[in-house]
Chains A and B, each alone.
Chain A
Amino acid sequence: MVLFGSSLSPIRSRPKTTIYNCITAVVLRVVLNWKLAGDTTMKMRKGVLLVLFTLCFVLSLFAPSHSGFQSDELLVDDDEVGLPQTQSQQSSSVPKSDQTTVTTPSPTPRRKFSDSDSDSKIQFTLEHAFGDSDFAPAGTFSARLKTSAHGGQTLTKLRFSRNALTDAEKENFKNLVDGDDFYKIRLPSNVLSPPGKDFVVTSVRARCLPRETLDEHFVIHTDGVNILGVNYGAPAPCSYPRPAKLPSKWSFNSYTILKNTEQAPRTPLFIQDVLKNGEEGEGEVVAPPERSFWAKYWMYVIPLGLIVVNAVTQAMNMPEEQASGQPGGAPAAPGAVQRAPSSAARRR
């Protein structure tokens, strides 16, 4: 169940508890809908419900048992594009103790070196603030730091786990929604030595986030180990005036994208090519795309058609005229003949 497919990069979201939660949500909704709906589609709905319940049941068997953990996770995987990650890999990469890691006040990242020296794991903290309040930890990003042969370092395989909102935070968020105030987040500008030069702060009007859950969308612009900026906001449009709305579920639905800089297109260097093309261009005329007969000749066809139609109607009228005009036609003819030369003479 991919909740969101980004057009920016091929990312496969792999929520683990989300699926569980979402499906329950869907089920609830379906139940609601079903109650509202008439009896006519009841049978069909029942069937769907049955399928969903079984699905839910099966998934709940596989789902990890920490039900208190409300966070959603999303994996951004450069290497394994589109490959669904297995549960085991996920649980290994995100330690069970990530809740505690996050809640520890010191934001120092823990660097774990894996087997190869060129590939190290790194974590950094997302902190949030409600309006003008102080920043508090809100989640953890973990990523792989790849060191390339020539010394450049790049972040890959970003994954994110968000802490559940506490009651106080929920209350704060409600206040923000009431006041149409800012929900702020920040990240260190350097993931190796946070906060680096300064924190990268960004904020969004709190009213933009709530949908069914709290939907958020991160685009983290990185340059090596530096974070330059974060595009943060709701994936859905959020146009003014923003209605005050609270989420039905107090959990975050997060989508994250890592973005590196793009290469500028090279300036065309093709003087020779142009010359070559120019020489050849004389010989072979670029054939215009073949158009349909109608597109080519409509201007001839329509007048022709009109003429034909005209001719046909005239032909149709002719016999009628001849039929009706025969009796009176003979006496009229001499007059016409008589008059004709005189008029011609006058004109001349």
Chain B
Amino acid sequence: MGTMLRGFLLLLSLLSITAPAFSLYEDQVGLADWHQKYIGKVKDAVFHTQKTGRKRVVVSTEENVIASLDLRHGEIFWRHVLGPNDVIDRIDIAMGKYVITLSSEGSILRAWNLPDGQMVWEAFLQGPHSSKSSLLVPASLKVDKDNVILAFGKGCLHAVSGIHGEILWKKDLEAESFEIQHMIQASGSDLIHLVGFVGSSRFDSYTIDAKRGELLKHDSAAIPGGYSGQASLVSSSTLVVMDSAGSTVTTISFQDGKVTFSQTPVSTLIEDFVGKAKLLALKLEGVFAVKTGTHTTFVRVTVEGKLEVVDKINHATAVSDVLEISENRQAFAFVHSRSNGIDLTVKLGADWNHDLLKESIKMDQERGSVQKVYINNYIRTDRSHGFRALIVMEDHSLLLVQQGAVVWSREDALASVIDVKTSELPVEKKGVSVAKVEESLFEWLQGHVLKLKGTLMLASPDDMAAIQSLRLKASGKSKMTRDHNGFRKLLIVLTKAGKVFALHTGDGRIVWSRLLNSLRQSETCENPTGLNLFPWHVPHHHALDENPSALVVSRCGPSDDALGLLSFVDTYTGKELSSSSLDHSVVQVIPLPFMDSTEQRLHLLIDASGQAHLYPKTSDALSVFRPELSNVYWYSVEAETGIIKGYALKEKASDDYSFDTRSIWSIVFPSESEKIIKTSTRKLNEVVHTQAKVVADQDAMFKYISKNLLFVATVAPKASGDIGSSTPEESWLIVYLIDTITGRILHRMTHHGAQGPVEAVVSENWVIYHYFNLRAHKYEMSVIEIYDQSRADNKDVWKLILGKHNLTSPVSSYSRPEIMTRSQSYFFTHSVKSIAVTSTAKGITSKQLLIGTVGDQVLALDKRFLDPRRSVNPTQAEKEEGIIPLTDSLPIIPQSYITHALKVEGLRGIETVPAKLESTTLIFAYGVDLFFTRFAPSRTYDSLTEDFSYALLLLTIVALVAAIFITWILSEKKELRDKWR
């Protein structure tokens, strides 16, 4: 009996462990979560509108997505994310049914079925060396009744069968560093011309027979004046090239095996020309465009080879490719932006003075300048030609313009999220309770009756739908006010486009979006890139009526020493409050835990020369900061040299708000045996509730909790490549735990036969990291837990009573740490894109790991599975504590995918934000897609679920009260009767 009982208990405990801590029913999907699909900034587009049926446009994007969009609504029919290692070079449509993509520097050619996006075939093209790539899908070129696709990549020209992707022939051009410019099919023949450059001074032209792949002719000539990398093909035998100085246009004619050059200075074409001219990449018959400053000049090349200016436009302009609208009639479009809209002009290629179409389109919000335009024509109801244009704007949004109006627009900047922060919503105004205004008591009751029906399984499908919609409405999750549980917030998102969005956590809608002026291209700042987002001003207590604001830190170029930019954005309205360009670079931003009297948070910006600059630049901030000067430390990781350095601030200031720093420690990794591949730190705002961990047999261990813990992973330089590029003997992974104040190496551990990529997360007193074990041919996850031994003596009750403990003594990094580490490794099936950990308001709720898997899903894994104290046969006491018997691999429970059936394509990061409710954490996962959900790592122990039936409770209470009354009356009567007897 005893054993049975114990067995039952064990079974129960096992069940409670294996039962998913979080899983959804089908009807709960979409209640607390939302998912948005994006594609990224479009870099190439091909229309497919010829046939009847669905009109669509196929696009490839900077995020390496290939997608087919509905031309009517802009929805995604299908899409594929090729990933960052497989950059799409060219796309085209072949045979009217396949989408052809050439990617990875011209080494992978794929065909996708146009209606449904299924991959039809894939061909790997090999060549001797990397080069530019080019793709040509000839309309009327057949080899043995098979359509041929010509792809140039890696120095080789390949002819690939359009039907099954076989390589028909391959021609190695045997020319080192031949950079292809164009691949031209001579009209009506089987000859293919390849034109390109070798280095910056030689022009090469190849003529190849497309049927057999024979090289017929090769011409080569030196270009006078050099070559700047910009070229424009004006006819099938003429190429226009800009010289390296940007002042002379060279026309290259390569007809009949003769290469002739003629040079024309730009100044003869454009009168007041100074500086550098740029050639726009166009494909217009007989016309090329020169960009000088903000002007664009169109120049025609006559048959004799003379140049004449056709038109001059004084705006930043985007020009489309040529569109063949009918026999020998070509149209093209150019678009330029105005203050509150864009102007679209479509012209016939031959006739410059006549506009086919001229429209100005109003836009309701700032989208910056026009970057790209693709046009497509259709036959109007009156049989004339109509045009629609697909326009890519500076903020990466995609617009379809037709008949002078924006038909649809997509905010594809959200596919390239850089940083996410949350902002609280405004407090609900007193006096008006929103809930009361929105529904009457009767409706409320009706709703609950419906819910009751649902729980009692009496509801019809109509009722079920009503319940679902009621649930969505009743939760009030999309209101613009703060809620009691802290579920409603604004997600402030900074994107690569320099556009800042505020998304509502309730339904994911864009509350506001702003293309920051400071993040737009200008003459002073060529290539601004956003870096980080910080809460700048978070009002509370007495200043609640003020709007919070966020700080956007960016810099002018990709390099570290580019000048920095600051921008302040109101998080309620999206207004750019102010912006400033700095006179120093920004390498690192340290948010300080101090505030000035106006509740602005102090930030320290470190520049490339090691100077620290205090912001805001007010004397008030300085007076707050100065006393803490000697307690501010920072560190830098120089991954290339393998050195980690720690710095402190100097007391002396060169000017009022900038401080010199000095190096106080360094850790030097030997470059022949170690290479830094990953560093990770704790989140600054993480809350830890208990310092001690009670283990079995009533013992306690004290967590070593330090905000200054840095996790560093290094691998052998040989093993820093892909998995499989090195043997287990010559690869190792060394992990370090470093105190960033003193530079102490707290712990160092070697995993032999392991290699990266490493993903790591640091939280409380533990680190979990993921890597590949070459010996076992499996991925592994390891955990290191750190305990403080110097506090271990405090377990004595008498010491605690008598006050002889050191629990309240301050902790200093300068004290010698007495730490103990425990670690354990487990196999894990998936490779991992990102690891995060849940965070709750007070840190009481147990933690779950959030693992971004290779399948772009987010998996929740209980931290208890990664406990170094797991053993094969845990004792009874350990079992009671919740220690799971040791297994060699971590379980993947399908129900614990918090993204349930959805995928966050191109997953890059997972952000967790605590809600006010202790049990709940908000999770935002971003990549090409966005996904948001609420998650309770230990279930919602502190609140009733949303579908809790209050009506049932009320009914039960009423019934009980009634029953009490009835029985009371009955008993009274009976008593009276008895008394009369």
Contact of A240 among B671, B751, B812 (CB under 8 A): B812
In the complex, whether A198 has a CB less than 8 A from a CB of chain B is yes
In the complex, whether A229 has a CB less than 8 A from a CB of chain B is yes
Contact of A238 among B662, B782, B815, B826 (CB under 8 A): B815
Contact of A184 among B664, B773, B776, B810 (CB under 8 A): B664
Give a binary string over A212-232; 1 marks a CB under 8 Å from any B CB, 0 the rest: 000001010101101111011
Within 853-890 of B, Cβ neighbours of A (below 8 Å) are at 872-873, 875-876, 886-888
Cβ contact within 8 Å between A233 and B824: no
- Do A267 and B648 contact each other (CB < 8 Å), given the known contacts A198-B666, A234-B814, A346-B978? no
Q: List the one stretch of B122-130, B151-159, B740-748 in contact with chain A.
A: B740-748
Q: Which residues of the other chain, A, contact B668 by a CB distance below 8 angstroms? A: 189, 196-200, 226-229
Contact of A264 among B743, B823, B827, B978 (CB under 8 A): B823
Contact of B664 among A201, A233, A274, A286 (CB under 8 A): A201
Cβ contact within 8 Å between A197 and B641: yes
Cβ contact within 8 Å between A203 and B665: yes
Within 186-203 of A, Cβ neighbours of B (below 8 Å) are at 189-190, 196-203
Give a binary string over B242-269; 1 marks a CB under 8 Å from any A CB, 0 the rest: 0000000000000000000000000000
In the complex, whether A266 has a CB less than 8 A from a CB of chain B is yes
Q: How far does the alpha carbon of A221 sit from the alpha carbon of B825 in the complex, in Å? A: 24
Q: Which residues of the other chain, B, contact A223 by a CB distance below 8 angstroms? A: 670, 673-674
Q: How far does the alpha carbon of A231 sit from the alpha carbon of B819 in the complex, in Å? A: 13
Cβ contact within 8 Å between A132 and B827: no
Residue in A233, A267, A273 whose Cβ sees the most chain B Cβ within 10 Å: A267
Q: How far does the alpha carbon of A286 sit from the alpha carbon of B663 in the complex, in Å? A: 58
Cβ contact within 8 Å between B670 and A197: yes
Q: Considering the complex, give the chain A residue whose CB is closest to the CB of B734.
A: A261
Give a binary string over A268-300; 1 marks a CB under 8 Å from any B CB, 0 the rest: 111101100100000001101100000000000
In the complex, whether B780 has a CB less than 8 A from a CB of chain A is yes
Taking the nearest CB of chain A, how far is it from the CB of B888, in angstroms?
A: 5
Q: How far does the alpha carbon of A287 sit from the alpha carbon of B826 in the complex, in Å? A: 29
Contact of B748 among A201, A202, A261, A267 (CB under 8 A): A261
Q: Considering the complex, give the chain B residue whose CB is closest to the CB of A268.
A: B888
- Do A231 and B750 contact each other (CB < 8 Å), given the known contacts A200-B668, A238-B814, A268-B886? no
Q: Considering the complex, give the chain A residue whose CB is closest to the CB of B868.
A: A265
Within 807-859 of B, Cβ neighbours of A (below 8 Å) are at 809-812, 814-816, 818, 823-827
Within 236-272 of A, Cβ neighbours of B (below 8 Å) are at 236-240, 242, 259, 261-271
- Do A277 and B872 contact each other (CB < 8 Å), given the known contacts A203-B664, A239-B815? yes
Q: Considering the complex, give the chain B residue whose CB is closest to the CB of A225.
A: B670
Cβ contact within 8 Å between B812 and A238: yes
Give a binary string over B641-680; 1 marks a CB under 8 Å from any A CB, 0 the rest: 1110000101000000000001111111111011000000
Q: Which residues of the other chain, B, contact A261 by a CB distance below 8 angstroms? A: 734, 748-750
Q: How far does the alpha carbon of A66 sit from the alpha carbon of B770 in the complex, in Å? A: 57
Q: How far does the alpha carbon of A221 sit from the alpha carbon of B665 in the complex, in Å? A: 14
In the complex, whether B171 has a CB less than 8 A from a CB of chain A is no
Q: Which residues of the other chain, B, contact A184 by a CB distance below 8 angstroms? A: 664
In the complex, whether A208 has a CB less than 8 A from a CB of chain B is yes
Q: How far does the alpha carbon of A239 sit from the alpha carbon of B816 in the complex, in Å? A: 10
Q: Considering the complex, give the chain A residue whose CB is closest to the CB of B674.
A: A223
In the complex, whether B752 has a CB less than 8 A from a CB of chain A is yes
Cβ contact within 8 Å between B888 and A270: yes
Q: Which residues of the other chain, B, contact A119 by a CB distance below 8 angstroms? A: none
Q: How far does the alpha carbon of A32 sit from the alpha carbon of B648 in the complex, in Å? A: 42
Q: How far does the alpha carbon of A263 sit from the alpha carbon of B751 in the complex, in Å? A: 6
Q: Which residues of the other chain, B, contact A52 by a CB distance below 8 angstroms? A: none
Cβ contact within 8 Å between A263 and B749: yes
Taking the nearest CB of chain B, how far is it from the CB of A256, in angstroms?
A: 13
- Do A263 and B750 contact each other (CB < 8 Å), given the known contacts A200-B666, A202-B743? yes
In the complex, whether A205 has a CB less than 8 A from a CB of chain B is yes
Q: Considering the complex, give the chain A residue whose CB is closest to the CB of B886.
A: A268
Number of B positions contacting A (CB below 8 A): 61
Q: Considering the complex, give the chain A residue whose CB is closest to the CB of B812.
A: A239
- Do A217 and B670 contact each other (CB < 8 Å), given the known contacts A198-B643, A201-B664, A203-B665? no
Within 599-643 of B, Cβ neighbours of A (below 8 Å) are at 630-631, 641-643
Contact of B814 among A219, A233, A274, A288 (CB under 8 A): A233
Majority SS at the chain B contact face: mixed
Contact of A288 among B663, B744, B827, B876 (CB under 8 A): B876
Cβ contact within 8 Å between B669 and A228: yes
Give a binary string over B1-43; 1 marks a CB under 8 Å from any A CB, 0 the rest: 0010010000000000000000000000000000000000000
In the complex, whether B790 has a CB less than 8 A from a CB of chain A is yes
Q: Which residues of the other chain, B, contact A264 by a CB distance below 8 angstroms? A: 735, 749-752, 782, 823, 825
Cβ contact within 8 Å between B814 and A208: yes
Taking the nearest CB of chain A, how far is it from the CB of B678, in angstroms?
A: 16
Q: How far does the alpha carbon of A105 sit from the alpha carbon of B201 in the complex, in Å? A: 55
Q: How far does the alpha carbon of A156 sit from the alpha carbon of B648 in the complex, in Å? A: 34
Q: Which residues of the other chain, A, contact B667 by a CB distance below 8 angstroms? A: 200, 228-229
Cβ contact within 8 Å between B815 and A201: no
In the complex, whether A30 has a CB less than 8 A from a CB of chain B is no
Give a binary string over B323-334; 1 marks a CB under 8 Å from any A CB, 0 the rest: 000000000000
Cβ contact within 8 Å between A235 and B664: no
Q: Considering the complex, give the chain A residue whose CB is closest to the CB of B697.
A: A289
Cβ contact within 8 Å between B816 and A234: yes
Taking the nearest CB of chain B, how far is it from the CB of A252, in angstroms?
A: 16
Cβ contact within 8 Å between B814 and A204: yes
Q: How far does the alpha carbon of A217 sit from the alpha carbon of B735 in the complex, in Å? A: 23
Give a binary string over B281-295; 1 marks a CB under 8 Å from any A CB, 0 the rest: 000000000000000
Cβ contact within 8 Å between B665 and A201: yes
Q: How far does the alpha carbon of A232 sit from the alpha carbon of B810 in the complex, in Å? A: 20
Give a binary string over A158-183; 1 marks a CB under 8 Å from any B CB, 0 the rest: 00000000000000000000001010
Q: Which residues of the other chain, A, contact B790 by a CB distance below 8 angstroms? A: 237
- Do A132 and B673 contact each other (CB < 8 Å), given the known contacts A182-B648, A233-B816, A264-B825? no
In the complex, whether A7 has a CB less than 8 A from a CB of chain B is yes
Contact of B773 among A132, A235, A238, A267 (CB under 8 A): A267
Cβ contact within 8 Å between A132 and B888: no
Within 668-701 of B, Cβ neighbours of A (below 8 Å) are at 668-671, 673-674
Taking the nearest CB of chain A, how far is it from the CB of B620, in angstroms?
A: 25
Q: How far does the alpha carbon of A274 sit from the alpha carbon of B749 in the complex, in Å? A: 28
- Do A240 and B666 contact each other (CB < 8 Å), given the known contacts A7-B818, A223-B673, A267-B776? no
- Do A274 and B887 contact each other (CB < 8 Å), given the known contacts A201-B664, A228-B745? yes
Contact of A229 among B631, B743, B826 (CB under 8 A): B743
Cβ contact within 8 Å between A221 and B812: no
Q: Considering the complex, give the chain B residue whose CB is closest to the CB of A347.
A: B978
Cβ contact within 8 Å between A265 and B825: yes
Q: Considering the complex, give the chain A residue whose CB is closest to the CB of B827.
A: A267
Q: Which residues of the other chain, A, contact B826 by a CB distance below 8 angstroms? A: 267-268
Q: Which residues of the other chain, B, contact A269 by a CB distance below 8 angstroms? A: 776, 888
Q: Considering the complex, give the chain A residue whose CB is closest to the CB of B738.
A: A229
Cβ contact within 8 Å between B642 and A233: no
Q: How far does the alpha carbon of A12 sit from the alpha carbon of B697 in the complex, in Å? A: 35
Q: Which residues of the other chain, B, contact A219 by a CB distance below 8 angstroms? A: 744-745
Give a binary string over B708-743; 1 marks a CB under 8 Å from any A CB, 0 the rest: 000000000000000000000000001100100011
Within 556-598 of B, Cβ neighbours of A (below 8 Å) are at none
Contact of A217 among B662, B671, B816 (CB under 8 A): B816
Q: Considering the complex, give the chain A residue whose CB is closest to the CB of B644.
A: A229
7 contacting pairs across A/B (C-beta < 8 A):
A198-B666, A208-B814, A217-B816, A239-B812, A240-B810, A274-B872, A277-B872
Which 6 residue pairs spanning A and B have beta carbons closest together? Answer: A237-B815, A189-B668, A226-B670, A229-B667, A231-B744, A239-B812
Given contacts A203-B664, A240-B810, 14 further A-B contacts (CB under 8 A): A189-B670, A197-B671, A202-B743, A202-B744, A223-B673, A224-B670, A226-B673, A228-B667, A228-B670, A237-B816, A239-B810, A263-B749, A271-B888, A285-B3
- Which A residues contact B (CB, under 8 angstroms)? 7, 132, 180, 182, 184, 189-190, 196-205, 208, 217, 219, 221, 223-224, 226-229, 231-240, 242, 259, 261-271, 273-274, 277, 285-286, 288-289, 346
